[in-house]
Amino acid sequence: MTLKNIFLSLLFFASNAWGQVRYIDYPSPFHPTLGSSGMVVSQNQASSDIGVEILNMGGNAIDAAVAVGFSLATTLPRAGNLGGGGFMLIYLSDEQKTIAVDFRSSAPKGISKDDFLFLKNNYDQRRYGYKASGVPGTVAGLLQTHERYGKLSLKKILQPVIAQASKGILVSYDLNQAIGSAHQINLDEESKKIYYQNESPVIEHAVMQRPDLVWTFREIARNGEDAFYKGSIAKKIVKAMQQNGGYITREDLEDYKPRFAEPIQTTYRNHKVLAHPPPAGGAAVLLEGLNILENFKTDEMGPNSASFLHLFAEALQRGHMDRSRYMGDPQFYDVPIEKIISKERGSSLAKKIDYQKVTPPESLNPDSLLVEGENTTHYSIIDKDGNVVSNTYTLGYSFGSGVTIPGTGILLDNQMNNFAYQHGNPEVIDRSASIGNKFEPGKRPMSTMTPIIVFDTNNELKLITGSPGGALIPAAVLRVVTGVIDFNLNLGEATMLPRLHKDWPYKNLRLEKGFSKDTLKILQSYGHELEESKTMGSTQSILISSKGKEGFADLRRPNAGVAIQID
């Protein structure tokens, strides 16, 4: 071989090797899952897979949402639920219409003044056990939404859900640890029987079969919503309540109704952002935060720059200020939501933000609004026709009240803890004294759950997301929205930006790990009192981009996953 041929061979080899390196190199370490048809993103891969199974049967996004919602009771029992409630947004592609569904748990109607005083003065009694539970709304919310907008029969939708509970799931490390950290499970014999073996949490990799949930699912498949609120399941709930001093009655169950309404919305840099109306206080924080941030140019800021993070924290603080006082159930309190999410309110609050100085919480007064004119789970679904579900639901705490209704597998929420029991106390200014969220029988407590749907500048569907995390939810969702819109990040990058949270009337700025020391020093120089935080939220999102549909399950909590439909 001549010297020339050797040189050409080496050149070819080098160029080919370089081509291979370039081929496997990616612009980001966070890779969204790409798809061109239906997609489900939830906090458990097995439940996401069931959602796609429903889509493959010919079901739409609403059908899949029902299956995923029921499946999570098996795969993610600490948050997936039949005994809790939530908020859901539905987008119907053919009608180009978005509907909000409120299936939040409600306070039992028969609670007396003495009962109220008991709950007010007994913190643990409103967190754990039978007295802690509000009337569950999940089953009514999912099934009435399915009756209006679904395609497949309920029996067909629940077949794979029943099969999953019957076969059982492998206990994950996360589930084993969650059981061990929820001490209220030990307070309830039925819950202990399910989640403990030999006085210890069910071990990792064990098969957890759920014959109790199988019975419940079958009753609902046969008799629909009536099974839960009037029939066989209702009888078990009422009996257990009577035997254990709980407040939920037969009348409470029979009278429960989900509420269908129009979403609330704002625009952010010409994108339309739709969220759930009150009592979804987190939605108000998000929309007000966007309205404040819109007043600042972020083009030359980075998503992790001290300048942007400072503005982000200041906007969040003001959003939480307004929800701390004036957010509640609109059937009991005239929530000034239009003022809270108005552009005028956002502009007025933005004008008082100093670019390089923190605003002391005591200088912020929620009454200025009237002067001017953590264990939850979320899933996002889109079907091949563009119909969408963005759903967040909760038991309250991890494993809720700790109570399982005997024979049903149904864990109950602890939403009685979510009312403002300090209302009327002049020494308290935070949300525990909120006029909008004071306790009243039959009322639905304010919640920070924040499912959203975003449309782009051409009014085309762009983003579906939401998160668990209690008061941290608005910050988690806001971080994803600004990451996508302000900084043009892909969905994985926007999701995995380190998060921050600033509440009111508290001084601390909570931050996840991942920010540079230089950035933290600058934030401290602005006057922020920094507090290192554990991970915040777990967004489950779908982005419609030039590449198609991008799904990304937040890496902050294990076992979440994206499932795609293959045409």
Residue-wise pLDDT for 475-520, tens only, equals 999 999 999 999 999 999 999 999 999 999 999 999 999 999 999 9
**What is the rounded CA–CA span in Å between residue 109 and residue 90?**
29
What is the enclosing helix (H) or strand (E) of 88?
Answer: strand 85-92
Indicate if the pLDDT at residue 41 is higher than 70. yes
Indicate if the pLDDT at residue 353 is higher than 50. yes
Q: How confident is the model at residue 432 (pLDDT cuts 50, 70, 90)?
A: confident
* pLDDT, mean over the chain: 93
Omega of the bond leading into 279 within 30 degrees of 0 (cis)? yes
**What is the rounded CA–CA span in Å between residue 168 and residue 484?**
38
**Cβ atoms of 195 and 185 closer than 8 Å:** yes
What per-residue confidence (pLDDT) applies to 364?
A: 85
Q: How confident is the model at residue 445 (pLDDT cuts 50, 70, 90)?
A: very high
Spatial CA neighbour of 563 closest among 31, 90, 47, 160: 47
**What is the rounded CA–CA span in Å between residue 218 and residue 227?**
10
* Burial environment of residue 428 by CB neighbours within 10 A (0 to 12, 13 to 18, 19 or more): middle
**Helix (H) and strand (E) counts for the chain?**
20, 23
Indicate if the pLDDT at residue 16 is higher than 60. no
Asked which of 82-96, 391-405, 414-428 is least confident by mean pLDDT, the reply is 414-428
Which pair of tokens denotes residue 405? 């209704």
DSSP 562: E
Q: How confident is the model at residue 431 (pLDDT cuts 50, 70, 90)?
A: confident
Which pair of tokens denotes residue 12? 């070819």
Q: Can 298 be counted among the known catalytic residues?
A: no
What per-residue confidence (pLDDT) applies to 22?
A: 54
Average pLDDT of 114-128?
90
What is the enclosing helix (H) or strand (E) of 446?
Answer: none
Q: How confident is the model at residue 234 (pLDDT cuts 50, 70, 90)?
A: very high
What 3-state class would DSSP assign to 342? coil
Average pLDDT of 33-57?
97
Architecture per CATH, domain 276-373+463-538, reads as Orthogonal Bundle (1.10)
Asked which of 112-121, 269-278, 352-361, 503-512 is least confident by mean pLDDT, the reply is 112-121
Which pair of tokens denotes residue 487? 């900084």
Domain with CATH 1.10.246.130 in the chain: 276-373+463-538
Q: How confident is the model at residue 8 (pLDDT cuts 50, 70, 90)?
A: very low
Strands (E), 434-547: 452-455, 461-465, 500-502, 508-511, 529-532, 540-545
Q: Which residues are 379's β-sheet partners?
A: 391
* φ, ψ for residue 13, nearest 5 deg: -65, -45
DSSP 382: E
**What is the rounded CA–CA span in Å between residue 392 and residue 142?**
12
**Cβ atoms of 282 and 374 closer than 8 Å:** no
61-75 and 45-56 helices cross at what angle (nearest 10)?
Answer: 150
What is the enclosing helix (H) or strand (E) of 85?
Answer: strand 85-92
Q: How many CB atoms lie within 10 A of CB 524?
A: 14
Strands (E), 293-406: 375-382, 388-396, 404-405
Average pLDDT of 261-277?
98
Residues 6 or more apart from 38 whose CB is under 8 A from it?
52, 55, 61, 64, 381, 382, 383, 384, 564, 565
The percent of residues in the chain predicted with pLDDT above 90, rounded, is: 85
CA quadruple 451, 456, 461, 463: dihedral, nearest 10: -40
**Strand duo 529-532 + 508-511: pairing:** parallel
How is the chain split among helix, strand and coil, in percent rounded to 5?
A: 40, 20, 40
* φ, ψ for residue 546, nearest 5 deg: -65, -20
**What is the rounded CA–CA span in Å between residue 282 and residue 289?**
10
What per-residue confidence (pLDDT) applies to 433?
A: 85
Q: How confident is the model at residue 426 (pLDDT cuts 50, 70, 90)?
A: confident
Spatial CA neighbour of 551 closest among 564, 542, 560: 542
Which pair of tokens denotes residue 395? 């038991």
**What is the rounded CA–CA span in Å between residue 142 and residue 235?**
21
Residues 6 or more apart from 191 whose CB is under 8 A from it?
184, 185, 399, 402, 403, 404, 411
Indicate if the pLDDT at residue 10 is higher than 50. no
State the catalytic residue, choosing from 376, 394, 450, 495.
376
**What is the rounded CA–CA span in Å between residue 111 and residue 415?**
14
CA distances for 502 relative to 31, 59, 278, 320, angstroms: 29, 41, 21, 8
Q: How confident is the model at residue 371 (pLDDT cuts 50, 70, 90)?
A: very low
Average pLDDT of 88-102?
97
Average pLDDT of 146-160?
98
